[in-house]
Chains A and B, each alone.
Chain A
Amino acid sequence: MVCLYSLLGLTLNLIVGYGGMLSLCHGAFYGIGAYASTLLMTNLGWPYVPSFLASLVICGVIAYLIAIPSIRFHGDFFVLATLAFQFIAFAILYNWTSLTRGAFGISGIPRPFVGEWQVSSPWAFFALALILALLVGILIWRLSHSPYGRALQAIRDDELAAESLGKNVNRFKRSAFTLAGMLAATAGVFFAGYTSYIDPTSFTLDESVFILCVVIIGGAGNLRGPIVGAVILVLLPELLRFLKIPDAVAPNARQVIYGLLLVLMMRFRPQGISGKYAFD
């Protein structure tokens, strides 16, 4: 789970930390990735790896199409645009019952497999998650420590100045949004294979907000931040269990702690625990 949320945090960080755009629809791409690969496997009988890759492409195309209108907005209005997409995506997953089986969800999703070999033990899943997180991490590292990442950060710091230096600002933002959406699909595909059951409630606004918390609490604008955030936010509930808080109180206590943590972070450390960039 830490790997999964590191993965989601790292990819969202491309938009939030490097691009400076607060997005509330990462959960939607996560979900679309999960559904796309699952439907390709269960309905069309595709093998795991091709459906994995196809779901990346599908998420990329959708993210690109969403990016075209939404990057025309700035600041709060961009957040609203992504929020709208989050709701639309959820509504489609929930109501297109002939395709997604709506609220019933899809069960019996095949475990990840290549030929005869199948991932089934918890350790094998852990290894797979680690490998995926590592691969995506390397890719994000490559993107961020390159002229591309540099220009993206320049646009984040001052859009007008970047444009006056010859940067096609919209193109950079579109590609960052597309890449982040595409890579979020890796987490979705992994999640579907891991739980072997998905339903739309795993990909709600709450999920998007949670991923955003991973980035903001951990710290935006570098690679360490989202990983730190994922470790803290995923392990926090486990810690509460350790404290033997009654079951009826635990989920609420968790929400309270998240809220408190966010408020405290914003007040005392707006750049997150190990972040580089703080939102104004």
Chain B
Amino acid sequence: MRIETDSLEKRFGGVVALDDVTLDFPAGSVTAIIGPNGAGKTTLFNVMAGFLKPDSGSVFLVPSGDGEGASHKIDILGLPPYKIARQGIGVLFQNVRIFNKLTALENVAVGAKDQPGENPLNLLFRPGVVASREKEVLEKSRYYLGYVGLADKAHLWAEQLSYGQQKLIAIARLLAGDAKVLLLDEPTSGVHPDMIENLLGLIQQLAGTDGRAVIMIEHNLNVVRRVGDWVYLMAGGRIEVFGKPEEVLRDTRLLELFPTL
């Protein structure tokens, strides 16, 4: 599955946050979005995740496999965020937004979709269905907790874990929900340098093995060089440069637009 946007526009009063943004984020690769503060990167994420409505333009999910084309596109604009999430889009927030008072395992289990046990009526009248699905959910959650390397932390409260570990939990809970498009907002910010390498390996694996579309906002150009397959350079709400990391990072416009580098 991949995601594409078509001429998105968004203004906040006089400030143009998105200006004719047409993008395509292919499945199976890591696409990085770089740009100075206020370039519209986070606005773009918020529009794709449904937290913000653009003034105009559209966002489509395109399922992979046979018969890809306009007829199969799913228009997700205007859907509430929880419905967009159910379509397979997952967000890693810049400030993690972990569930502090739940254990690591519970955090991941919350991410799982289609849980009959979330309906109180099912709890009372269909306990068997609830129990068998819950068993699957916990198994899957343990699997993904192990996948991000935190199997031994399953029963600790999320707030007891380090910031980097919390980011891993947040990724695991997206995976438990079968997210096919991952929007990562500065995944390495605030993470201890020792853990960054580990995290980057994971990000590459997410795109590589299961063909997810991974899109990340990143300020650290070393990270972009290391894991990015494609790079968009954004400034003033516009997409200025697109290409392979080595091309974009050599582009003369980079320093002009991104003087704080």
Query: In the assembled complex, how far is the CB of residue B131 from the closest CB belonging to chain A, in whole angstroms?
Result: 10
Q: Which of B82, B119, B177 has the most CB of A within 10 A?
A: B82
CB-based contact A160/B97 at 8 Å: yes
Q: How far is the CA of A20 from the CA of B66 in the complex (A)?
A: 46
Bin chain A's interface residue count: 20 to 34
Residues of A within 8 A of B97 (CB): 158, 160-161, 164
Task: Say yes or no: is B214 at the interface (Cβ < 8 Å to chain A).
Answer: no
Residues of A within 8 A of B90 (CB): 164-165
Q: How far is the CA of A196 from the CA of B67 in the complex (A)?
A: 72
CB-based contact A148/B177 at 8 Å: no
Query: In the assembled complex, how far is the CB of residue B244 from the closest CB belonging to chain A, in whole angstroms?
Result: 30
CB-based contact A179/B120 at 8 Å: yes
CB-based contact A142/B123 at 8 Å: yes
Of the residues A146, A163, A175, A221, contact of B85 by C-beta under 8 Å? A163
Task: Say yes or no: is A166 at the interface (Cβ < 8 Å to chain B).
Answer: yes
Residues of A within 8 A of B102 (CB): 150, 153-154, 157
Interface pick from B12-20, B109-117, B142-150: B109-117
Task: Say yes or no: is B238 at the interface (Cβ < 8 Å to chain A).
Answer: no
Describe B's contact surface by its main secondary structure.
helix
Query: In the assembled complex, how far is the CB of residue B102 from the closest CB belonging to chain A, in whole angstroms?
Result: 6
Task: Say yes or no: is B101 at the interface (Cβ < 8 Å to chain A).
Answer: yes
Query: Restricting to A111-167, which residues have a CB under 8 Å from any CB of B?
Result: 142-143, 146-148, 150-151, 153-154, 156-158, 160-167
Interface size of B by CB at 8 A reads 37
Query: With A157-B99, A160-B51 known to touch, is A148 a contact of B118 (CB < 8 Å)?
Result: yes
Query: In the assembled complex, how far is the CB of residue A135 from the closest CB belonging to chain B, in whole angstroms?
Result: 12
Contacts between chains A and B (CB distance < 8 A), count: 94
CB-based contact B91/A221 at 8 Å: no
Residues of A within 8 A of B177 (CB): 165-166
Q: Which of A142, A148, A158 has the most CB of B within 10 A?
A: A148
Query: In the assembled complex, how far is the CB of residue B17 from the closest CB belonging to chain A, in whole angstroms?
Result: 19
Residues of B within 8 A of A5 (CB): none
15 additional A-B residue pairs with CB within 8 Å, beyond A162-B110, A164-B93: A143-B123, A146-B123, A148-B117, A148-B119, A151-B118, A156-B101, A157-B102, A160-B51, A162-B99, A163-B85, A164-B51, A164-B85, A166-B83, A169-B82, A277-B101
21 interchain pairs, CB-CB under 8 A: A142-B123, A146-B134, A147-B118, A147-B134, A150-B102, A151-B118, A153-B99, A154-B99, A154-B106, A157-B99, A157-B101, A160-B97, A161-B93, A161-B97, A161-B98, A163-B81, A164-B85, A165-B85, A166-B83, A166-B86, A166-B177
